[in-house]
Chains A and B, each alone.
Chain A
Amino acid sequence: MLVSSGARGIGVAVNWEVLYEEHGPSIAGYLAKLIDDAEAASDLTQETFARAIRASGTIRERGAARAWLYRTATNLAIDHRRRRAILAFVPFSGLERHERGAFDVEADQVRTALRSIPVDQAVALLLLYQSGFSRSEVADLVGASEETVKSRLARGRKNFMAAYRRLERGLAR
């Protein structure tokens, strides 16, 4: 059921609870890969949907809602990465990563490789390969031309695979 009442304005509104169940986990996975922090990804997913609820008067279709959610999640993730870069001088013990439970080496290497490439390239790769948007949808979502996205994907793919191979061989972290 996608139609519900309660949003401001005239017309039908999106049922955010259904969309949260449907897209929440994949958006959380997208964010976790982009910012390499499962707890923060959970928090940003919640914030993405909370903002969506508040903006529900301007979002009226299922398709538009999904793109809106990913766009907002992307902006939140970029802000988070920037804030974290500002706070990067805070010394960590290096043990925090292992307190999360089971440690998946491959997933960790994927996140680390994604973190090592420019964020616009990581976003384009994830939106295309992980979230299943088409190139033109990615272009629309990030506010860039399709040519720009194509170039980001090509460079991103090259940079990501190079970083991932280095990590696989234990050459970098």
Chain B
Amino acid sequence: MTEQNELLQDVAEEDELRRLLRARERVALTGFPAVRMRAERAAAAMRVRTGFAGAVLVVVALVAGLQLASRSRVLVPASGSVAPTPSASAAVATDTSGGTSQYVGCGSWSAATSPTGARFTASYGEIRNCLRVGNDWLLTTLGTTSSRGVIAVYRCGDAACLQPDADHPFDDWRITPAPGPGGVTLLGVDPDGRHVRVSNSGRQMLFDLDSLTFSG
């Protein structure tokens, strides 16, 4: 009898929970044209930023070319097998469409000897790439013998977090395991700044930084 009462109480509580959580909220929404305009503004801002970054890169490349003169073969492969170090930890992301874009590389916290880097290495394998994309820090790993590689995203809520040397505690990263076995290698960042192209298990795919999902 007591058990039956408990069951009835349980059902009644669930019904109440459903009713409370389903209660309507009064939220004033804008019309769809405003949403479309917002999307267009964001896309335009991204194009401007990409264009500006491209112009800066051209100038930097010209200056570097002049300085290096005959020593002009100094390409840094993003997809090389060398583990990232604080100085070269994915400061470069190769764009498979042909260009090369410069992003902010990670600081000393991503080194395998730092607490955060060590936790990643132990749990998900060696860090393959690490860089900042917009307001997010992003890293990929090669996986371990028992687990596949991951993409990890750290969302920044303030300006200090955007600094390469700021600490980014392991527990605040959002981890997404690779869809296939093996590691994840970053190939490039889409012009919208919210998708990255990666390679995993011999396949190229997109990773959405907002929904933290793979596609393609």
Contacts and interface: CB of A to CB of B under 8 A. Distances in A.
Interface of A: 16-17, 20-21, 24-25, 28-29, 31-33, 38, 41-42, 45-47, 49-51, 53-55, 58, 68, 71-72, 75-76, 79, 82-83, 86, 101-102, 106-107, 110, 125-126, 129-130, 143, 157, 160-161, 164
B34 interface: yes
Given A54-B194, A82-B155, A45 B32 contact: no
A147 to B, nearest CB: 16
19 contacts: A24-B29, A25-B27, A38-B28, A42-B27, A51-B42, A54-B43, A58-B195, A58-B216, A68-B213, A72-B210, A72-B211, A75-B210, A79-B155, A82-B155, A86-B157, A110-B23, A129-B18, A157-B17, A160-B17
A interface, over-half SS: helix
Interface in B5-38: 13-14, 16-18, 20-30, 32, 34-36, 38
Interface string B168-193: 00000010100000000000000010
B206 interface: yes
Contacts of B43: 54
A157 B20 CA distance: 12
B158 interface: yes
B57 interface: no
Contacts of A79: 155, 157
A50 B39 contact: yes
Nearest to A17: B32
Contacts of A126: 21
Contact of A53 (B20, B25, B35, B157): B35
Contacts of B35: 16, 20, 46, 49-50, 53
A58 B13 contact: no
Contacts of B17: 125, 129, 157, 160-161
Interface of B: 13-14, 16-18, 20-30, 32, 34-36, 38-39, 42-43, 155, 157-158, 174, 176, 192, 194-195, 206, 208, 210-213, 215-216
A68 B215 CA distance: 12
A34 to B, nearest CB: 10
Contacts, number: 121
A50 B30 contact: no
Contacts of A25: 27, 29
A53 B39 contact: yes
Contact of A41 (B27, B158, B206, B213): B27
A46 B34 CA distance: 8
Nearest to B13: A161
B27 A110 contact: no
Contact of B206 (A58, A82, A110): A58
Contact of B27 (A45, A47, A125, A164): A45
A155 B121 CA distance: 31
Given A75-B212, A82-B155, A161-B13, A55 B27 contact: no
Contact of B32 (A21, A38, A101, A110): A21
